[in-house]
Structure formats: structure tokens, C-alpha cells
């Protein structure tokens, strides 16, 4: 573990957290008087799911790779395709006009569903860290989770203060980061 490892883990966290950031902005706008405790719970749920999903992906790759050695050759392709797909989707979502939702989505169950939905793409990061030993994968996932926590919390605060005008830019920025990481892994 060195500076590059930590920096790359933070970049992964930033790229993956942009969906959670956008959702947190919407939640802040939707519930402008949200209490600090609920903000922290929301950010904690987002960070937990974002940090846990890559670990699931890592275990899936190692389970599959153990039984199918040839699958390992496909990992860079799969990672690039998934990250580029997700990144392009985020870019397109950032370009489309945002539809406002009037119903409250900040109940605990609503936040859990949001946490799952925004972290599905993080599963593919398990492919990108599959060459790392388990302890390094766990550290990467922890850094991703912590990064997402702070970005989500910041998103709620901004959403409360300024509204949705920054959410599409955040989604586009996250998309660009994921595409760049996908291409980097493939070229790797």
C-alpha cells in the first residue's frame, strides 16, 4: 500500500459516489429541514453499500476465477465494458433534464433502496481490484465507503442550500471518472 494505491482508491470512491451525491442532493432538496442525525444515517447507508459492493464483486471474481482460469483473461474487458457503460449512462443522465419527484423518498426504507440502487455499479469495481490480495481489496472498499460517506453528506448539505442545479454536473463528472478508470484498467 502506497500513495498511488490510496489515491486510486479515493478516485474510485469519488467516481462511484457521484450517483449517491446526486441522490443526496435530491434528498436535501426534498427535505430541506433534514436533521443532522438523518443526514449522517443517509450518508452512512450510501457509504456502506458503495464500500460493500466492490467486495462482493472481488469475491465473485475469485470464486469464478478459481473454477475457470480462462475467465481471468476476460476481467479487464468486463471491467472496461461495465465501467464505460455505467459512466456513459451517468453522462447521459447528467445531460437529460431532471424530473422533480414530489413524494418523500427519505424514509429509512427509501434511503436503503437508494443506497442499493446507487451502488450496483460498484459491484464491477470488484473486477478492477481482483488482482489485489484480500486485505488490499478490503482497504480499497473501506476507502470507497468513507469517500462516499463524505460526498453523500456533502450532497445533502448542498441540496438543502442550493437545490438540484449541480446534480447533473456531478453525474457527468462521475461518468467521466468511471470511463477513464475503465479505459485505464483495460490498457493496464
Instruction: Kindly indicate the confidence band of residue 154, based on its pLDDT and cuts at 50, 70 and 90.
Output: very high
pLDDT on residue 102: 37
* pLDDT at residue 54, as a whole number: 93
Distance, CA of 150 to CA of 16 (rounded, Å): 13
Alpha helix positions (H), 96-166: 108-119, 125-128, 134-162
Topology at the third CATH level for domain 3-187:
Growth Hormone; Chain: A; (1.20.1250)
- Which of 134, 120, 12 lies closest to 61, judged by CA? 134
Q: How confident is the model at residue 165 (pLDDT cuts 50, 70, 90)?
A: low
In 3-state terms, what secondary structure has residue 102? coil
Could you read off the pLDDT of 56-92 as tens digits, one per residue? 989 888 887 566 566 667 767 776 786 677 677 767 7
Q: pLDDT digits over 98-148, tens only? A: 554 434 556 788 888 888 878 877 888 888 888 899 999 999 999 999 999
The residue extents of the domains of the chain are 3-187
3-state SS assignment for residue 68: coil
14-33 pLDDT, tens per residue?
Answer: 988 988 888 888 788 777 78
What is the rounded average pLDDT of the residues 35-51?
Answer: 95
pLDDT score of 50: 95
Give the CA distances from residue 56 to residues 128, 154, 157, in Å, rounded to whole numbers and listed in that order.
12, 26, 30
Asked if the model's pLDDT at residue 48 lies above 90, the reply is yes
pLDDT of residue 119: 83
Amino acid at each position: 500500500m502506497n500513495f498511488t494505491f490510496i489515491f486510486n482508491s479515493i478516485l474510485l470512491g469519488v467516481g462511484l459516489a457521484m450517483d449517491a451525491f446526486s441522490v443526496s442532493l435530491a434528498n436535501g432538496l426534498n427535505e430541506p429541514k433534514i436533521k443532522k442525525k438523518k443526514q449522517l444515517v443517509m450518508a452512512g447507508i450510501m457509504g456502506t453499500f458503495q464500500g460493500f459492493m466492490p467486495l462482493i464483486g472481488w469475491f465473485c471474481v475469485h470464486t469464478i476465477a478459481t473454477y475457470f482460469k480462462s475467465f481471468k483473461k476476460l476481467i479487464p474487458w468486463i471491467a472496461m465494458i461495465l465501467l464505460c457503460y455505467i459512466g456513459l449512462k451517468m453522462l447521459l443522465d447528467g445531460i437529460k433534464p431532471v424530473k422533480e419527484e414530489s413524494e418523500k423518498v427519505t424514509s429509512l426504507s427509501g434511503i436503503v433502496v437508494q443506497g442499493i440502487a446507487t451502488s450496483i455499479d460498484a459491484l464491477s469495481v470488484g473486477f478492477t481490484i481482483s488482482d489485489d490480495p484480500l486485505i488490499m481489496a478490503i482497504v480499497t472498499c473501506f476507502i470507497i465507503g468513507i469517500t462516499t460517506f463524505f460526498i453523500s453528506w456533502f450532497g445533502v448539505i448542498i441540496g438543502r442550500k442550493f437545490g438540484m442545479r449541480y446534480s447533473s454536473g456531478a453525474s457527468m463528472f462521475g461518468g467521466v471518472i468511471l470511463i477513464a478508470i475503465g479505459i485505464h484498467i483495460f490498457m493496464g
